[in-house]
Amino acid sequence: MKKYQKMRGGRRAGSGRKKNSPNKASAKREREAAASGATPRDVMLMSMRSLWALADENKKDKKAFEHYIRAAAVAKDAAPYFHPRLSTVDQAQGAGGTTIRVHVTGGLPVGSTPERPEGTEYSEVPPEEPYR
């Protein structure tokens, strides 16, 4: 092997940043936001809860419906912070494929085919076939 080997360009397996790892700027921004006090997530959660409580207090008032609608809109914006989308979550699959076997007793009349099912002779007991 040569002392100085020329590297080829292009993609290589295992190179680059690993998935779901934040870059330094994003990690720093998140730490600063958390240290400063309320994050956008906290503000949305507090406003949603206060709107919901306001709507519960004024159930007989016409404004209650408006407060519920506003609380639902804030909840919709806050949902990605708390609940991941199903498409991004690994869903457990079965251990393997399932094979379904159907054993039919009886069948078509003697002399008929699936294309021409007419016939009048039915055997009392179907012939015994080995179970696979």
Domains of the chain by residue range: 27-83
* Closest to 53 (Cα-Cα) out of 37, 71, 80, 32: 71
Tens of pLDDT, residues 10-61: 677 877 778 877 788 888 888 887 787 877 888 888 999 999 999 888 888 8
109 within 8 A of 122, measured Cβ to Cβ:
yes
Tens of pLDDT, residues 83-114: 877 776 666 665 556 777 876 666 666 667 66
Question: Residue 83: phi, psi to the nearest 5?
Answer: -125, 115
0.85 surpassed by pTM: no
